[in-house]
């Protein structure tokens, strides 16, 4: 199973941990690392490296971070550059993390990255447009409850 490390600024990671566990239950091989104000970027990288070791069973490690170009993403990318079988996705949202827990068994690390990128982008929606489209039924098509 692919290991997952979630990291972000302040309480992003532990906040996501609460939400993910409510959706998926307790997950093996998943760690959450917050980058808090009292922590240096060197300390962050040390914690990310340890978390990667803790979740790696030999099938690879995927880092899911909050902001592209932020310290968690940059330090995870440093690990990617010197460690085999590691990938990083920055700009992660809750559907990506929750689905990562469900989709990571039986796929390659690259396949998981592709799956989660598809999920993440498909979950970003303009709800006004979605509702207007749902309410604009063709005259010959009968509207039903729901979408």
Q: What is the pLDDT of residues 32-68, one digit of tens each?
A: 999 999 999 999 999 999 999 999 999 999 999 999 9
**Is 144 inside a domain boundary?**
no
Helix (H) and strand (E) counts in the chain: 6, 4
**Is 33 inside a domain boundary?**
yes
For residue 29, pLDDT over 70 is answered with yes
**Is 145 inside a domain boundary?**
no
pLDDT tier at 132, thresholds 50, 70, 90? very high
The Cα 20–Cα 30 span in angstroms is: 10
Q: Which residue has the higher pLDDT, 37 or 141?
A: 37
pLDDT of residue 64: 98
**Is 53 inside a domain boundary?**
yes
Helix 109-122 to helix 94-103 angle, to the nearest 10 degrees? 140
**Is 140 inside a domain boundary?**
no
Domain enclosing residue 102, as ranges: 3-135
Can you read off the two tokens belonging to residue 132? Answer: 């207007």
**Is 146 inside a domain boundary?**
no
Give 35's contacts (C-beta < 8 A, 6+ positions apart).
7, 8, 9, 10, 12, 13, 44, 70, 71, 72
Give alpha helix (H) positions in 83-108.
Answer: 94-103
The rounded Cα 127 to chain-centroid distance in angstroms is: 22
pLDDT of residue 109: 98
**Is 45 inside a domain boundary?**
yes
For residue 142, pLDDT over 90 is answered with no
**Is 92 inside a domain boundary?**
yes
- How many independent structural domains does the chain possess? 1
């Amino acid at each position: 199973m692919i290991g997952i490390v979630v990291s972000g600024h302040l309480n992003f990671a532990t906040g996501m941990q609460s939400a993910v566990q409510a959706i998926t239950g307790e997950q093996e091989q998943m760690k959450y690392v917050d980058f808090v104000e009292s922590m240096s970027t060197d300390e962050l990288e040390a914690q990310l490296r340890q978390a990667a070791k803790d979740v790696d069973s030999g099938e690879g490690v995927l880092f899911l971070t909050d902001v592209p170009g932020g310290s968690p993403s940059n330090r995870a990318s440093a690990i990617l550059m010197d460690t085999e079988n590691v990938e990083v996705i920055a700009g992660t949202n809750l559907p990506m993390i929750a689905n990562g827990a469900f989709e990571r068994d039986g796929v390659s690390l690259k396949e998981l990255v592709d799956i989660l990128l598809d999920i993440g982008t498909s979950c970003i929606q303009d709800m006004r447009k979605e509702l207007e489209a749902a309410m604009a039924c063709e005259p010959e098509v009968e509207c039903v409850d729901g979408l």
